[in-house]
Amino acid sequence: MTKTSTPTLLIAGLLTSIAAGTAMLPSIAAAQVFQDGASHQMSAHQPRPTHVEGHIAFLKAELKITPEQESLFATVAAAIRTDVQDLETSHQQMIAAAPAQPTAVQLLERRTNLARLRVGAEERFLNAFRPLYASLSPDQKQTADELIAQRGLN
C-alpha cells in the first residue's frame, strides 16, 4: 500500500464524498485515517472527484427530476460543483504547504480547517437543496431521504 499524507487523504475523502451524487455532502468519514501515519486507506468504492458530472446525472435520474424542477436541480448541481472545486483548490494548497513531518498543532489546525470547509460545503448544499426538496413529489422525497440515509447523513 502506498503511503499518502494525512491531509491528502482527508481532503480526498471530502472530495470523493462530495462527488458522490448520492452522498452530495462532504464527509471526513470517507477516508480512514490513522494519525500516527502507520496506515492510510481510502474506501475502494468511493468515486473520484473527476466523476462529479456522472454523479450529478445519477442523482438527477434517481430523483426523476421533472422539467419543472430543472432550475432548482441546476442550483443543487452548481453547489456540488462549487464544493468540489473549492475543496480541490484547498487540497492543492494544503499539499503545497504541508511539511513532511507535521506537528500536533499543525495536524489540529488542518483538522479545524477541514471542519470549516465541510461546514461551508454542507451549508451551501443545504441552501441549494432545501428548495428542490420542497418541490419534490412524495415519491421523489422518499428517494431523496433514502439516498441521504444510505450515506449515514442526517
Q: What per-residue confidence (pLDDT) applies to 52? A: 87
Which of 7-21, 36-50, 119-133 is predicted with the least confidence, judged by mean pLDDT?
36-50
Average pLDDT over residues 132-154: 86
Domain ranges of the chain: 6-150
37 vs 150: which has the higher pLDDT: 150
Q: Please check the confidence at residue 14 and state whether its pLDDT lies above 60.
A: no
Alpha-helix residue ranges (DSSP H) falling in the chain: 6-19, 52-63, 70-97, 104-135, 138-150
Long-range contacts of 34-40 (CB under 8 A, 24+ apart): 35/6, 35/107, 37/3, 37/6, 39/1, 40/1, 40/3, 40/4, 40/5, 40/6, 40/9
The answer to whether residues 117 and 14 touch, using CB atoms and an 8 Å cutoff, is yes
56 vs 2: which has the higher pLDDT: 56
User: What is d(CA 139, CA 55) in angstroms, rounded to the nearest whole number?
Assistant: 20
pTM of the model: 0.65
Average pLDDT over residues 45-60: 75
Average pLDDT over residues 46-61: 79
Nearest-10 Cα torsion for 85, 35, 42, 82: -10
